[in-house]
Amino acid sequence: MFFSRRSIYLFWVGCCSLLPLWGAAQPVSDTLRVSLPQLEERFLSRNFQLLAQRYQISAAEAEVIQAGLRTNPNLEVATNLYNPNTGKVLPLSTPPVSDINNDVYNSGYYAAELQQLIRLAGKRTKLVALAESNRALASITFRDILRTLRYQLYTSYANLHYDLEAIRLLRGEEERQGRLIESFRLALKTGGVSRYELTRLEVDRRELRTNIATYRSQIAEEQATLRVLLRQTTPEFILPVQVPDAVPALPTVELSIDSALVNRPDAALAREQIINAERRLNLEQASRTPDLTAGVAYERYGNTYVNFTAIKLSMDLPFFNRNQGGIKVAKLGIKSAQAGLDNQESVVRNEVIEAYEKLTLYYEQNATLPPDYLIQLQNISVEATKAYNNRVISLLDYLDKIRTHQSGILNYIALRNNIFQAQQQLNFTTNTRFF
């Protein structure tokens, strides 16, 4: 039987009609179909890093409680363990009157002393203030980790969604190309096509399979990232349901920068570092004043008279060490924190400008697309096949047009992904949900 180019074309078009370009993959039983809001809800309740940082905040709150506690009083009790004059152990009994009259005290001695450390110069209040600043740092760090992980979640979800769209396109093309190759093999037996044409199609399909393998590798990486973010131990395939593809108006760059400086946790962290350094300096300066130890003491049969009661006060004399080094270090810490804030604000501004320029670029690209762009791309494939079967174009021209069709659709998918990624980058760099 002789297979003409016309019959090959009709067979191929019939197969194409069974495989819609944008057809969804058939879900399997171990597939988790999840929307972006659902994914975020699972992420907030299950992520290990967020859980660990919450513990850090709880630990910082405990440090505030600890800093506010006063030191415990100290009680010291002493007595005679062994009297070599009498050979008695723990001679606690009252001495006889005759011994007392002769000022001989071989028993009955004991002493007790109660002391309390009193922090001066408001050290306890300053310790609490420093601990509160440390708690604020832990809370801001949590917000920054949440911001980073949420951005990773959104971008990985979108990459997975659009990679699946791309691989569905390529697999559809692979299916159609495989049927075309089978038709060519049948036609080759009757001389309807040349061996060169068949080989050229097979080479093109191998290149297509290489692209599919690349996308499959990317999808595997994205699945792994999402499983880690969701603390998912089961091998369920995470299937995105939908990614928002709206293109709302851009905020002004000035508004974006102002929002970032106010809302970004890393900028707030740099500001809190200055507060923390200032409170540390206050504590170091207070340390110049020594603490006071106050107490009372009682001694029986061991001092100038039988029952001796004393009040005790002790304090280090700050003649040499007035914490000069600690104060200097704290002052340098403030300067370092201020430099860190200046640097962070510069980083924030430039990151926002970069994200804004990227999003503007992708918006401009999207604006140049005609409304029927996808229909035009689809027509390339249809018209190229008609022209090739009518011997108007060569096989090379035909394959070139098919590649143009595939490339155009893949570029369109990439543009949609780039717009979403750039929107999320601007949200991330400003810590504001503009989109």
User: 3-class DSSP state for residue 325?
Assistant: helix
Which residues, at least 6 apart from 45, have a Cβ–Cβ distance to it below 8 Å? none
pTM: 0.81
**Among candidate residues 8, 15, 20, the one with its CA nearest the CA of residue 386:** 8
DSSP character at residue 360: H
DSSP character at residue 255: H
∠ CA(146), CA(150), CA(151), 5° rounding? 120
DSSP character at residue 251: P
Token duo for residue 354 = 């970069």
Question: How many other CB atoms sit within 10 Å of the CB of residue 390?
Answer: 11
Q: Distance between CA 219 and CA 221 in Å, rounded?
A: 5
DSSP character at residue 300: E
Contact 166, 158 (CB under 8 A): no
Q: Distance between CA 131 and CA 127 in Å, rounded?
A: 6
**Among candidate residues 275, 279, 430, the one with its CA nearest the CA of residue 351:** 430
Structure confidence at residue 107 (pLDDT): 82
**CB crowding 94-114: b at 16 or more within 10 Å, else e:** ebeeeeeeeeebbbbbebebe
Percent with pLDDT over 90 in the chain: 65
Q: Quick one: how many helices (H) and strands (E) in the chain?
A: 11, 8
Question: How many other CB atoms sit within 10 Å of the CB of residue 279?
Answer: 20
Contact 294, 116 (CB under 8 A): yes
Q: Distance between CA 213 and CA 75 in Å, rounded?
A: 76
pLDDT string in tens for the chain (435-residue length): 333 444 333 334 344 433 333 343 444 458 999 999 999 999 999 898 999 999 999 999 999 999 999 999 999 999 988 888 888 888 888 888 777 777 777 788 889 999 999 999 999 999 999 999 999 999 999 999 999 999 999 999 999 999 999 999 999 889 988 988 888 888 888 887 788 888 988 998 999 999 999 999 999 999 999 999 999 888 899 999 989 888 899 999 999 999 999 999 999 999 999 999 999 999 999 999 999 999 999 999 887 788 899 999 999 999 999 999 999 999 999 999 999 999 999 999 999 999 999 999 999 999 999 989 989 998 998 898 888 778 888 878 888 888 899 999 999 999 999 999 999 999 999 999 999
DSSP character at residue 290: P
